[in-house]
Amino acid sequence: MLGVPAMVAGCQKIILASPPRSDGTITPEIVYIAHKVGAESIVLAGGAQAIAALAYGTQSVPKVDKILGPGNQFVTAGKMIVSNDTSAGVSIDMPAGPSEVLVVADKSANPAFVASDLLSQAEHGSDSQVVLIAVGLGEEGVKAVDEELHAQASALPRVDIVRAAIEHSVTLEVESIEEAMRLSNEYAPEHLILQVEDAQKVVELVENAGSVFVGPWTPESVGDYSAGVNHSLPTYGYAKQYSGVSLSSFTKHITSSNLTREGLKNISGAVMQLAKVEELEAHRRAVSIRLEHMAKPSFRNRTIEYYSILVDAKSALDPRTKGNAMMGEKDW
């Protein structure tokens, strides 16, 4: 989700960070992926300590210019701290973590599907948050989801983590899809799952979300691994201000201006007036001094005559033009 767009964008240096296993080694899958995306090295660390090492550099960890990727609350806090430290000189993609999901479900939703989607994020960590907005489900509908939730959770290897996350998660009951989407847009979830009737039409009501999963056959898991969307996404409501990681996250846009003399004359009035309004006299004079220079007679009449033979390759071979020379003037 990060290495491929970095590679496609042409990043000259790619560094991966991943915590090692208990024996100090790293999983071969990560080593393989690092090789495939052209990573220069793998930092055997995770958490806030990896963020600090990448931001400031150490004897063994090279300093980077930008840190991207999701993590727990400590990773997110670390990223935000270093991005505001001018001595670090590093930027980040966005605040991304802990994980969260919001499922909007109506009477058409399968309770087992809803529960499985809630659990798929709850298992990330005890600080993950899952939210269900039940649209007209009533007591029986909410109870059916709850029963599925507990039955499926009991079968998971990370059941303790799941139950810890569920403890601070919530269910909101509303009567209309419009009210559901108003609440969703205010919450601005990392993952938004729409298990409702005519789900594709409901997408039009989405204003704030990291990524949207539409309909009963689109679990959030496919976004993580195979659907083609990037799952490094904003959390904590930052979907109101940020988009998820994309190719543009690894690129910069540098502007350039190159005016001719006439071009400067054409826009000079507007530039000087705006500088005057902002009381930035040096800005105004940077233009006016050039205009005064253009108006000087010595500038207008200063030309030199030059004689040069301008013969291109084609003309040189043409007997009708062979030996002809051209004279001209060049305005300085």
* Catalytic annotation, residues: 190-191
Give the list of residues 6+ apart from residue 130 with CB closer than 8 angstroms, or none: 100, 101, 102, 103, 118, 119, 121, 122, 165, 166, 169
**Nearest Cα residue to 176 out of 217, 205, 140:** 205
CA separation for the pair 271, 290 (Å, rounded): 13
* Other beta carbons less than 10 A from residue 43's beta carbon: 21
* Other beta carbons less than 10 A from residue 27's beta carbon: 11
Element (H, E) at 279: none
Angle at 242 between CA 47 and CA 240, to 5 degrees: 115
Taking the CA of residue 132 as centre, how many other CA atoms within 13 Å lie in the half-sphere pointing to its CB? 30
Whether residue 98 is preceded by a cis peptide bond, meaning omega within 30 degrees of 0, is yes
**Nearest Cα residue to 93 out of 72, 69, 64, 75:** 69
Residue 37 is given by DSSP the state: T
Task: Point out which residues pair with 307 in neighbouring strands.
Answer: 327
Report the Cα 284 to chain-centroid distance in Å.
Answer: 37
